[in-house]
Structure 1
Amino acid sequence: MGHGNCSFIYDGPSGIVVDVPAVGPLLDAMDRVGASSVDHLILSHADNDHIKGAAALMAHDEVTVRALWANPDSTKLSEAFIDLLTVAADRHQRGLIDVRTNLNVGANGALDCGRIGVRVLHPGILWAGVGPTKGKHPIGSITSNGMSAVLRIELDGNPAVLLPGDLDAKGFAEMQRVGVDMAAPVLVFPHHGGRSGAANNREFASELVQAVQPELVVFSHGRTSFLNPRKEIVDGIRDALGDKVQIACTQVSRGCHAAELPGSLGGQLGGYSQYPCAGSLSITATSRGISWRPGVKQHGITIDSLDSPMCRTGKVDVGNITLRAGKK
């Protein structure tokens, strides 16, 4: 996808999409598993790198999107957000799609799809009711990133992947204040590994992964957009979890390799990225636990060719993650 987030979660005929900055790679992923319908299209927040392909997906002739979930945000004036709402309104009026504007903890239970559970961990009712604010407000300012929906994907009730969108430090602090259980074996790191809004990004990263306790951290980012993931973010993850956690980026960061990239890189799934590191990751839950590909060894072929890969440690693991029932 380049700079942006997109997750396609499926179990047999059931499919859920969380964020879609570009529709082409998503359609290819759906086609590979024979999926032509989306039960829930969930948009974490209104930034273009999370929503830009949503209108095209809803309007696509060969895809059925049954429900759209998105929170209101009057601070967002982007053309992509207005287009999205316009397409959604038109399709809703014609009875083609269900539209929900209450993507908060009160929606829990409504987003489940077969064995797939989608738990909204943030925003809570208070924040969702207020929404993003500018200027003074009795509960303080809330940014669009702070309001970003934090979703935990579960299978048969067991945590699998945490998708926090662009959650910022203040939103994370609110989750800590109310005691949200964020545990998951896989974490897609918020805001693509960029600035968190905290006074100390390294401490933010350390505290976040301590709360989640992931065994795999994914940075979904574009090489040419920003210098992500930031080194202090990666350092914070290592401070908290050391070599116990595997780190994978979808594209090669300029922080890992500033020069022109080698002509051949391993680890790519799909042909959209010119700069794949791990590429598009496939995370699979089975009776034996959770596995992901490209695995550590395959990913290692790519990072061995880079000047200073931030994810490199002295430890090489097997790329298999155990999903424990009731893990906290």
Structure 2
Amino acid sequence: MKGISSIQNQGGFNQQKHLISRHITAKGRVKQAELLSHASSIRQEIIDITLPVLAKLTEGEILRALIFGDKSQLSEQRWQQLRQTGAGHLVAISGLHLSVVFGLFYGLLILLSRLFVASQHRGYGVGIILIAAGITLGYGYLSGFAVATQRALLMMLLLVIFTVVKQYSNSWDRLLYALCIVLLLDPFAMLSAGFWLSFLALSIILLAVKPERIEAEPNLAHLQDKPQAIFVRVSTTLKRFYHKAVLGIKVLWAIQWRLAIGLGLLQAVLFGTMSPHSIWLNLLFVPWFSVVVIPVAMLSFCLWLAMFVVLRVLTLEPAMINGGGEVLFYLANLSLAPFVWLLSISDHLPLSLVKITEQWIIAIVFLCIALGLLYYRRYSSRYTTWTWYGVAMLLCLPIVLQTYAVSRHELHVGHQPNAAPHWQMHVLDVAQGMAVVLQQGQHGVIYDTGAAYGDFSYAARAIVPFIAAKGVTRIDYIVVSHADNDHVGGLSLLSQTYPNSKIIADFNVKPYAKRPANQTCRGKLWWQGIELQFIDNTLQSDNDNDQSCVMRLDDGKSAVLLTGDIEAPRERALLKADVTLAVEVLLVPHHGSRTSSTPAFIAAVQPQVAIVTAGFANQYGFPKNDVMARYQDRGISTLHTGHQGQISLSFTEKGYKIATYRQQLAPFWYNQLFKFGESLKAE
């Protein structure tokens, strides 16, 4: 076993936080085992008998998510469609689903009670409420008790309890009780995105829905049974129905646009994306799911369970039982057809999913606060109107400045400026591999692309999300040091994602990029006022590592040396070459292996900071302790992506500043509590 320690970069998926929210603090591998006994839970047994039926339906994976909360079978394309339509909450069992199930069975039981029971009293009502709550609790059990499900169940149970004991409570009280109980039972629930999305969604709904005054029935006693009375009753009924329909549409609209803005902003903070079409699409999706999809799916499922029990008692063949299940789920499958059709249309909508940079997120948050102050100023007379307007204008400054920064044309510098430009170098955490992103405004350069294994690549997991989060819209160059997988693995994806980029490499990149390199690693070029000097390889060697592309960056004030995987022979060749090696920042050669970082090379480079790109507790044991000692004995600061995560350096005319992900960029409390990135054993 070893402590969980996933890669940590801005913009990327934080697997560490996801695992700790599920109470997973370590992971390991079973080398040998013997199955002694096996006992399935009731939930698993129900899932096992239902899945063969759902697997034969065209929309079986969505029904599987709606009934059991199991979203594992949803394809990546389907997830993308759900993200770009803002419909992900519809396949994640939450308050909407539980409310519909509770209302459905409560209504059915009330109807049956009135049909078959002549005398009605409060005991029947209480019993029906308890039965409906029990059925809904069973639905929550089938769904796996996710955070959103816990919140909704707690609020429902509190409502039932208060109803039974005749104790008044408003919705805000129940929401706070649910929040308190969820955090008492599971404090780590706050690390889950579902926790924030769930409670924020209900808070927005409670703020949007306001009690409406109900008109009293007209007094028709004086008309008795005259024809006028019938006409008045009919007209009054139609009028009330019309007003209720209009009111329902207004409430739905009020809830939906607030949810779209509030949850859209939270989605941007959590995932770095927003879906502009979610407002009008959810105006169609939510009523359809509430009235048709969820009730039909749950009734089909209940009938299927009842039929399965009866047919098993009759000892019929499994094929016949499954055939009957397909018939029962036919309407549920058919009800999802309009939903799936709209999801497919979303692939062709403009701006279906907008990526939001960190700067825009901050600016939009301040703008929303300003709009909120202006909206609620009418409820407060403590300050003057001009005070409210003044504060709102100050809060709008970030959005104005960000808009100006994006709209202005950047100067493309072709010669070395008098003063050093402002730029950043981000050494990304891509486990046992290398990936560096140079950033100057909206322009970027990528040096090495991380590893790829089958369908997985660190380019997709870390590099592309990072570039989007930092607001880099143009990748000018992709430099690949050599052809090892941990350096070239992501080139295929990056060359497709940034087709206008120029590839620089000394080997044939067509098998990876489907296009040749634009130039070799020789000579020098100017990029945004920074000199990129490629140091020629004069060493004749078959060692692939020694063929690495060595690049020196110089902005006139500070210099950086990127070395790839060069080893001792190439280091000696560099010492003999007529080039300047002294820099302030060095990327340690070959991930800190003993084949590199010779004392003579370190003495010639004389860096102030040495950065190692290596995975946490990697199988090679990089970086080696004796190699790191060579740097530390000379007073050189050493940083390790496996421990610190992403390492970002900001260069100005005054020098450079360093910020690491775990210590400065995102010093999350659970990193210190569990010593992620520091200890092999989670504490």
TM-score, normalised via structure 1 length: 0.65
Q: Distance in 2 between matches of 1:214 and 1:297?
A: 22
Counterpart among 591, 594, 600 of residue 192 in structure 1 = 591
Q: Distance in 1 between matches of 2:650 and 2:463?
A: 17
Residue 645 of structure 2 contacts residue 661 of structure 2 at CA under 8 Å; is this kept in 1?
no
- For residue 102 of structure 1, what is the amino acid of its counterpart? T
Shift of 1:226: 1.8
2:465 equivalent to 1:28: yes
Deviation per CA, 1:102-144, whole angstroms, max 9, x where unpaired?
212xx312xx2111221112424xx4xxxxxxxxxxx5x3411
- 1:14 is matched with 443
| Residue of structure 1 in register with 2:625 after alignment | 231
Aligned to 1:146: 546
2:433 maps to: 4
Classify the secondary structure of the residue corresponding to 1:4: coil
Provide, for residues 133-171 of structure 1, a one-character-per-residue CA deviation record: whole Å limited to 9, x for no partner.
xxxxxx5x341111111111222x344321100011111
Task: Name the CA shift for 1:295/1:245 in 2 (closer, same or farther; >3 Å).
Answer: farther
Please list the CA deviations of residues 19-66 of structure 1 after superposition, one character each: whole Å capped at 9, or x if unmatched.
Answer: 001213111221122112211110011111001001111112xx3442
Distance 1:42 1:216 in 2: 22
The alpha-carbon distance between structure 1 residues 26 and 173, as it changes in their structure 2 partners (threshold 3 A), is: same
**Shift in Å, 1:12:** 1.5
Matched, 1:287 2:680: no
Cα pair distance change 1:206/1:307, threshold 3 Å: farther
Q: Secondary structure, in 3 states, of the residue corresponding to 2:644?
A: coil
Q: Computing the radius of gyration over CA atoms, which structure comes out larger, 1 or 2?
A: 2
Distance in 1, Cα, partners of 2:564 & 2:483? 10
Query: What CA deviation, in whole Å up to 9, does each residue of 1:154-203 have, x standing for no partner?
Result: 22x3443211000111111111112431111111101101131xxxx6xx
CA contact (8 A) 1:15 1:113 kept: no
| 1:130 equivalent in structure 2 | none
Structure 1 vs Structure 2 CA RMSD: 2.8
Give the match for residue 165 of structure 2.
none
What's 1:108 paired with?
524
Please say if residues 521 and 535 of structure 2, whose CA atoms lie closer than 8 Å, have aligned partners that are also in contact. no
| Cα separation, 1, equivalents of 2:472 and 2:662 | 28
What is the rounded CA distance, in whole Å, between the counterparts of 2:558 and 2:484 in structure 1?
26
Task: After TM superposition, give the deviation of residue 225 of structure 1 in Å.
Answer: 3.5
Aligned residues with identical type, % of pairs:
22
User: Is 1:250 the counterpart of 2:641 in the alignment?
Assistant: yes
- In the TM superposition, residue 232 of structure 1 has moved relative to its aligned partner by 1.5
Query: CA 1:32/1:307 → structure 2, altered by over 3 Å: closer, same or farther?
Result: closer
User: For the residues of structure 2 that align with 1:295 and 1:51, how far apart are their CA atoms?
Assistant: 24
Q: CA deviation at 1:292?
A: 0.7
Q: Is residue 2:564 matched to residue 1:165? A: yes
Cα deviation, residue 83, structure 1: 3.0
Match of 1:38 among 475, 484, 501: 475
Residue 66 to residue 307, structure 1, CA distance change in 2 (3 Å): closer
Tell me the residue number matched to 1:88. Answer: 515
Which of 494, 516, 521 is matched with 1:57 structurally?
A: 494
Residues 168 and 190, structure 1, Cα contact 8 Å, conserved in 2: yes
Partner of 2:449, secondary structure, is coil
What is the identity, as a one-letter code, of the residue corresponding to 2:602? V
d(CA) in 2 for partners of 1:296 and 1:54? 27
C-alpha contact (below 8 Å) 1:188/1:217 kept by paired residues:
yes
Question: In the aligned structure 1, how far is the partner of 2:459 from the partner of 2:663?
Answer: 30
What letter corresponds to residue 108 of structure 1 in structure 2? Answer: K
Shift, 1:294, TM fit = 2.2
CA separation in 2, counterparts of 1:28 and 1:35?
10
1:14/1:38 contact within 8 Å kept: yes
Question: Is 1:188–1:218's contact at 8 Å kept on the other side of the alignment?
Answer: yes
2:535 matched residue in structure 1: 121
Deviations 1:227-251 (A, max 9, x none): 0101121122233x1xx32111111
How far has the Cα of 1:69 moved from its partner?
0.7
CA distance in 2, matches of 1:114, 1:82: 28
Alpha-carbon spacing, 1:152–1:35, altered in 2? closer, same or farther (3 Å): same
Secondary structure at the counterpart of residue 38 of structure 1: strand
The answer to whether structure 1 residue 72 and structure 2 residue 499 are counterparts is no
* Equivalent AA in structure 2 for residue 88 of structure 1: R
1-structure distance, mates of 2:440, 2:663: 27
Q: Which amino acid aligns with 1:9?
A: L
Aligned partner of residue 39 in structure 1, secondary structure: strand
When residues 118 and 225 of structure 1 are mapped into structure 2, their CA distance, relative to the original with a 3 A threshold, is farther
SS in 1 for 2:656: strand
Classify the secondary structure of the residue corresponding to 1:108.
strand
Does residue 221 (structure 1) correspond to residue 614 (structure 2)? The answer is: yes
Q: State the Cα distance separating 1:100 from its structure 2 match.
A: 2.7
Q: Which structure 1 segments of 5+ residues have no match?
A: 74-80, 90-98, 128-138, 252-276, 309-328
Q: Which has the higher helix share?
A: 2
1:265 match: none
Query: Residue type of the partner of 2:619?
Result: S
SS in 2 for 1:7: strand
CA distance in 1, matches of 2:528, 2:610: 26
TM-score of the pair, normalised by structure 2: 0.32
SS at match of 1:88: coil
Quick check: 1:186–1:217 contact (8 Å CA) kept in 2? Answer: yes
Give the corresponding residue for 1:257.
Answer: none
Could you give the per-residue CA deviations for residues 188-222 of structure 1, whole angstroms, max 9, x where no partner exists?
A: 101101131xxxx6xx4422221111111111001
- Number of residues of Structure 1 aligned to a counterpart in Structure 2: 236
Q: Which runs of 4+ in 1 moved over 3 A?
A: 295-302, 304-308
Q: 1:193 & 1:55 partners in 2: Cα distance?
A: 27
In 2: Cα distance, 1:56 partner to 1:45 partner: 17
